[in-house]
Each structure stands twice: as structure tokens, then as C-alpha cells.
Amino acid sequence: MKIGLLSDAHGNDEAFSLGVAFLRRLGATHFYFLGDAIGYVPSTSVLDSLIRLGDEVSCILGNHEAMLLKGLIDSKKDEIYLLNSLRSEITAAHHKMITSWPISIQKEIDGQKMLFVHGSPEDPTYGYVYPDTDIAGFASDSDWVFMGNTHHPFIREERGTHYVNIGSCGLPRDDGRYGSVALFDTLARSVRISRFEITAFSALLLEQYSSVHSSVRALYQRRCDNIFGEIIC
């Protein structure tokens, strides 16, 4: 089975949809979205796309969805998150879908034990695992742990467990030009991180939503000499 993984779209629906299209082309037959469809950009369009995918996608609750549902958002931080401005845009269908998302999913397919979280194995919703984070203390009986949240993709192995941060399809923090998705082949027991150009989509998004914070706009201008993953477009 080939599984397509996406995370941290943050309102960038064109980038999210292109990521899904690339993963289909690579043979994905089911998708996992690891949270944060919303936040930073005041758009619900990614939620609409997830609704359209229906049973083709399994979703995890991200920290931005959790903050929206709890309603406890610091006003200063929300100048960046822009979650309160989304409340009037959240439909009954959006709310029903988000509240159904678990904080983690455990699956075993083709003899491979997999854990899907937004954050980390120890803190599924709010944990941050970067490429240089010490993962030696993580206790997991899974063969594969798939994560998002930091917007920095990597693949690492520790004591027989492969830790995969799939990065961000809509708001990358290493190089703002390239969204990130992952394809996991359960039979080959291999994972592939793919990067794709989102510059044009992002520029249109920032033009459409003038309220996007300057710090978020700056992320799309970041450049990295060593981009993790294979640039496919």
C-alpha cells in the first residue's frame, strides 16, 4: 500500500491540492493529513478540500485546530495566528469534521506498525520535533512515527523506529519556495519526501489576505542551501 502524507497546509489550498495531486501521481491510494489546515492565513479552503476527499483521507487534530476549538487564544499571538477572525467562516460541516479528528492514529499495515501525530509521540498535539531534536528519549513500539508541526522535514532512525517529519505542504519554514509531502510504501518499507514549487500560489494568497502577519510573509522569503527531500517540480 502507498500512503500519501501531508501536514500544516495553513490555508494554502492550492499548495495542498497540488500536494495531493503529486501523491496520487506517485501511487498513493489513501491520505493522512496530520493537522493544521488553518492558522496564519484566515482561510477555510483547505477544510473544504478535506471534506471533498471524504473517506480517502484520515486526519489528525493540529494545534491550530485545537486552539480554535478551545477558544483560548492570546490576543497578541492571534495577531499572527488569525484564528479568531476565522470563527465566522467556520461552518457546521467544518466544526463537525474538526471535532471528529483524533490526536493520534495507530495502524498496522503489511506488518508495519505506524503512529501518526501532529506534534510528537510524547505530546501528540503540541510537541515540536526538529531535525536536530534529541529523539533518544522517545519510547515507541512503532516501526514508523509520522509527524508535522515544525514545518521542517526529516527522516531519522532511533532504536529500530523511523521518525519522519513530513514538513509543511503550505508554509515551509526551511525554504519558502517548496512545499513538502511524503509517500510511504508499506510493502517496500520506504518513505520518500518530495518538494514542489508553491511560490506563485503563496504570492496570490498573500495578495488576497492582507491581514497575514509580516513574520508569516517572511517565511515565504526564506531560502535554504540544503533542502531536504527530492524537488519534483
User: Using one digit for the tens of pLDDT, what is the confidence trace for 97-155?
Assistant: 999 999 999 999 999 999 999 999 999 999 999 999 999 989 889 999 999 999 999 99
**Tell me, what amino acid is at 125?**
T
Q: How many angstroms separate the Cα of 109 from the Cα of each of 74, 132, 144, 184, 202?
A: 41, 29, 11, 11, 36
User: What crossing angle do the helices spanning 92-99 and 63-70 adopt, rounded to 10°?
Assistant: 120
Q: Is the pLDDT of residue 65 over 90?
A: yes
Q: Is the pLDDT of residue 89 over 80?
A: yes
pTM over 0.95, yes/no: yes
Residue 31 is predicted with a pLDDT of 98
User: Using one digit for the tens of pLDDT, what is the confidence trace for 31-59?
Assistant: 999 999 999 999 999 999 999 999 999 99
Residue 143 is predicted with a pLDDT of 97
Extract the C-alpha cell encoding 149. Answer: 508541526
Q: Is the pLDDT of residue 188 over 80?
A: yes
Q: How many angstroms separate the Cα of 14 from the Cα of each of 151, 182, 203, 216?
A: 17, 17, 11, 17
Give mean pLDDT, residues 190-195.
98
Residue 140 is predicted with a pLDDT of 85
Q: DSSP labels for 151-215?
A: S--EEEEETTEEEEE---SSS-SS-TTEEEEEEEETTTTEEEEEEEE-HHHHHHHHHH-TTS-HH
Give mean pLDDT, residues 212-223.
98
What is the number of structural domains in the chain? Answer: 1
The rounded percent of the chain whose pLDDT value lies above 90 is: 94
Segments forming the whole domain that contains residue 107: 2-231
Residues 6+ apart with CB under 8 A from 195: 178, 179, 180, 227, 228, 229, 230, 231, 232
User: What's the pLDDT band for 75 if we cut at 50, 70, 90?
Assistant: confident
Residue 204 is predicted with a pLDDT of 96
Mean pLDDT of the chain: 96
Give mean pLDDT, residues 24-28.
97
| Alpha-carbon span 33 to 35, nearest angstrom | 6
Q: Is the pLDDT of residue 72 over 80?
A: no
User: What's the pLDDT band for 74 if we cut at 50, 70, 90?
Assistant: confident
Give mean pLDDT, residues 199-208.
96
Helices within 54-142 (DSSP H only):
63-70, 75-81, 92-99
* CATH code, 30: 3.60.21.10
